[in-house]
Homo-oligomer: A and B are copies of this chain.
Amino acid sequence: MSQPGAATERRLIEIIRRAARRAPAVRVGIGDDCAVLEPAAGSLLLATTDLLIEDVHFRRRWATPTDIGWKSLAVNVSDIAAMGGRPRWGLIALACPEAVTVEEAEAFYTGVQALATEHDVAIVGGDTSSSPRGWVVNVTLLGEAVRAPIVRSTARVGDVIAVTGSLGRSAAGLALLEANPAPAGVGGDARADVTSAHLRPRPRTREGLWLSEAGGVTSMIDLSDGLATDLGHLCEESGTGARVDLGRIPVEASVHAVARALDRDALTWATGGGEDYELLLTAAPDALDRLAGGLVRATGTKLTAVGRMMRAAEGIQYLDAEGHAVSVRPGFEHFVTGRARA
């Protein structure tokens, strides 16, 4: 540990210690060289890590420290959810410029803790440092899977492709946050819906667990980089192609409203926007109704079929309402300094 000054540093550690929940499976939490954890007998351990950097992954102009804390943990919880696992233990590293106040640092951990509490995660360790330039956050999250985790590489030709929730809200929210001046014609509800989707995403932990227990899901991935990119990963790892019916992709009215106000395309956000943290999965066609019905009853979250897995030779096709293949730009680019996302 280093700057910010020793007093701030001690205070930060106090904040982290206070935020750390002593869960039953945590033998030693914050305050020693390592956390000491007691995995459940016979379970598999899941591990994921994400590095978030100011002006790459967030801007402090519109993301509060609490937003940053929430989202840093949320994106990792989403990775555990995508394997059908249970998130358990988080390690949080934060580097800030020396000018950071104790209040800002505390607000960051408040955001972490709020998300942690919702998903039953114990914060068991971390690191703090000064940063000469900008905020830097790294979160590592450990989880457990009692059943075999659902991986990306086991989709089969003929499987139906489905997504939880709806797509494009986060990209619409980012576009609105980056818009200067703010556009007219976006209602407060629509604005709140899409900006909260971007700033405080709600990972699908309960949905992932339910789907894992329900059986019949053949592969799963979380939508962090956008449908086009993440479906590409699923197909590449499974050795398949895919066909997506664009008209079936669930897009909220709020996203359409923001797209109209900014003269942008809602479907482009839904296919390429990224950061929706919904689950993309494949299943046998005859399992879909059971899964969709069960999921909405158990969690309130809808599951929508959007396409089929095809042979690899057919590539990945996107069809419009008339069944014509259209080009979809894959890939989610984080904005880079001085340039809004294209």
Contacts and interface: CB of A to CB of B under 8 A. Distances in A.
A273 B63 CA distance: 38
A334 B50 CA distance: 25
Which of A46, A145, A237 neighbours the largest number of chain B CB atoms within 10 Å of its CB? A46
Interface in A324-342: 331, 333-334, 336-337
A249 interface: no
Interface in A209-253: 221-222, 225, 237
Interface residues of A, number: 72
A301 interface: no
Contacts of A2: 56-57, 333-334, 336
Contact of A95 (B56, B140, B337): B56
A285 interface: no
Interface of A: 1-3, 6, 27-28, 31-39, 41-42, 44-57, 79-80, 82-83, 85, 89, 91, 93-95, 98, 124-134, 136, 138, 140, 142-143, 145, 149, 151-153, 221-222, 225, 237, 331, 333-334, 336-337
B89 A47 contact: yes
Nearest to A31: B237
A131 B47 contact: no
Given A6-B331, A82-B33, A53 B136 contact: yes
A48 B28 CA distance: 12
A133 B336 CA distance: 11
Which of A36, A82, A225 neighbours the largest number of chain B CB atoms within 10 Å of its CB? A36
